[in-house]
Amino acid sequence: MISDNIIRNFIIPLTQVLVILGVASGAVAYMTLVERKILAFMQLRLSPRRVGPHGLLQPIADGIKLLLKEDITPDKADRILFTLAPIVTVIPAFTALAVIPFSGGGTFQIFGYQVTPWIADVNVGLVFLLAISSLGIYGIMLGGWASNSKYPMLGALRSAAQMVSYEVPFGFSIIGVMMLSGTASMVGIVEAQREAHVWYFLPQIFGLFVFFVSGVAETNRLPFDLPEAEAELVAGFHTEYTGMKFALYMLAEYTSMIVVASIVTTLFFGGWLRPFPNVEALGFLNLGLDRIHPVLPGYFWFLLKTFLVLFVYLWLRGTFPRYRYDQLMRLGWYWMIPLSIMNVIVTGGVVLLLRR
Amino acid sequence: MDWGLAIFYFFAALAVVGGVMMITRKNAVHAAVYLVLTFVSVAAIYIILGAEFLFAVQVLVYAGGIMVLFLFVIMLVNLEEPRRFSGGRLRLMTSAVVTLLLFGMLARLFARSDGGHAPIVAAPAAEGNLQLVGALLFTDYLLPFEVVSVLLLVAMIGAIVLGRPRA
């Protein structure tokens, strides 16, 4: 018989990790389809519609195709780092999911065991997220270098400069939220928003702006996808990658998008809280979902908000042309960093005044 | 079996292996990657000690910031052949003396602490690392904190002056 201790400290966390990994991978697979559908809609094109009804099986077909493709390693490549690089990119992307609270309302019970709807509630959650997300760049840089080819190398260098530049406003923009909530724990921040009766996107509108723009730059998405600008660099850092290794890069990119969207939801849009969480009369917004399962509404609102943020991501891609490289750098250093520092100073002053 | 101790030895061994590999690799990129391994292992040891904030900062600053810039520079200048040591005898002697001094200082520090005897788990702060570190920095250690920030400012201005194109 398995002891109580092992179940509590080993099997339950492991199950949580596996469930979240599975859900995230599935979400990534279908994000690719959603992206193509929405872009097609915006550009008045037909989207993929051949595989399955309305193209719904397209991600599965893509997955099989990527698995079966020939796995090529260039002759002059650094073999070990070439293989290691995509793995190094995927790990931080998934690790970041560990501290994101997907629902609230405390724990729920499965077979008599208390299970939390998040893997870990670390008291330095936000700083942890920053630290982990800063590691993702290694896969891109090493992959570009290990390919031993010109375009990947240029893509890797661009990406390094871009991510280092945008990490600064990325970090500064969340300090305002930490000041308002008085904690760096992700769960604590959502609870603080419930108690404050306001979601932080209102008092932290500049913080949200800087954070989201930097988040788009950090995940190398359009209009900031300079590292893989196909008009100039073929495909940037992953030019030489094929098959499963290429798929790992895509997996990491889309997972990072989901992570950034979840952080935006948690920090600025009240995480799992429904709109106006303190108004009893608006309970109907839960659509009766709380009667089906006690934790469902939390998940429901969290996912709804996260996918709205992801939609904005795709919207940006459909709307803006790619930045030129010097424009990107100027935007980061001349606008984003000063704006985020101003935000910290003003927020600090206001918090100090209100506390008196 | 004590899992905490086992995990500590695992990451300590990883850190030492990373350090040794870092100074023995001829390829500069490989050396940098091993140094990142060392930094991350040390960060993992901080977690075992209950210092989560130190973990996050270690990863954020050393692994995520400084080493990325190192790697950037290495890739930019693209060192093909490692150059032989060409410092002459005086430079070799100076390096040896400085290294020995540093070793002596660290050894003395280690000998004076109760290293290896006291339990390796520090008492975690009740209200969390982040608040504790912040409060300490702005009360007891305010002066060193400000001195360090002035030092960094000077370094930054120096870098700008050096990097500015000559008029």
A127: nearest CB among B33, B56, B76: B56
> Contact B59/A137, CB-based, under 8 Å?
no
Where would I find the H helices in A197-242? 205-218, 230-233
Longest dimension (CA), chain B: 68
pLDDT range class, residue A135, cuts 50, 70, 90: confident
- Contact of B63 with chain A, judged by CB distance below 8 Å, is answered with yes
Rounded CA-CA distance A90/A55 in Å is 27
Counted residue by residue, chain B has a size of: 167
With the C-alpha atoms ordered A292, A114, A184, B127, is the resulting torsion angle positive or negative? positive
Q: What is the pLDDT of residues A1-31, one digit of tens each?
A: 567 777 777 777 888 888 888 888 888 888 8
Q: Which residues on A lie below 8 Å from B71 (Cβ)?
A: 138, 141-142, 145, 160
Give the number of beta-carbon pairs within 8 Å between A and B: 82
Q: What is the pLDDT of residues A178-225, one digit of tens each?
A: 888 888 888 888 888 888 778 888 888 888 999 999 888 888 777 877
Q: Which residues contact A122 (CB under 8 A, 6 or more apart)?
A: A99, A128, A185, B52
Is the predicted pLDDT of residue B152 greater than 90, yes or no?
A: yes
Write down the pLDDT at residue B17: 93
> Contact A130/B36, CB-based, under 8 Å?
no
Report which DSSP code applies to A174.
Answer: T
Q: What are phi and psi of A109, to 5 degrees?
A: -105, 135
Q: What is the mean pLDDT of chain A?
A: 82
Residue A223: asked if its preceding bond is cis (omega within 30°), the reply is yes
* Residue A186 contacts residue A241 (beta carbons within 8 Å): no
pLDDT range class, residue A279, cuts 50, 70, 90: low
Q: Where are the domains of chain A?
A: 73-355
What is the predicted ipTM? 0.78
Nearest Cα of chain B lies from the Cα of A335 at a distance, in angstroms, of: 19
Is the predicted pLDDT of residue B1 greater than 60, yes or no?
A: no
Q: What is the pLDDT of residues B106-117, one digit of tens each?
A: 888 877 776 655
Q: Which residues contact B5 (CB under 8 A, 6 or more apart)?
A: B120
Rounded CA-CA distance B45/B39 in Å is 10
- Contact of A286 with chain B, judged by CB distance below 8 Å, is answered with no
Q: Which residues on B lie below 8 Å from A167 (Cβ)?
A: 64-65
- Contact of B132 with chain A, judged by CB distance below 8 Å, is answered with no
With the C-alpha atoms ordered A167, A172, A178, A184, is the resulting torsion angle positive or negative? positive
Write down the pLDDT at residue B24: 87
A135: nearest CB among B63, B72, B76: B63
pLDDT range class, residue B65, cuts 50, 70, 90: confident
pLDDT range class, residue B104, cuts 50, 70, 90: very high
- Contact of A130 with chain B, judged by CB distance below 8 Å, is answered with yes
Is the predicted pLDDT of residue A104 greater than 60, yes or no?
A: yes
Burial bucket for residue B150 (CB in 10 Å: 0-12, 13-18, 19+): exposed
Is the predicted pLDDT of residue A280 greater than 70, yes or no?
A: no
The one-letter amino acid code at B147 reads: V
Rounded CA-CA distance A277/A282 in Å is 8
* Residue A82 contacts residue A249 (beta carbons within 8 Å): no
Rounded CA-CA distance A199/A33 in Å is 31
Does residue B167 or residue B140 have the better pLDDT? Answer: B140
Question: Which H or E run contains A189?
Answer: helix A186-196
Rounded CA-CA distance B83/B51 in Å is 40
Q: Pick from A204, A212, A220: which is nearest to A161 by CA?
A: A220
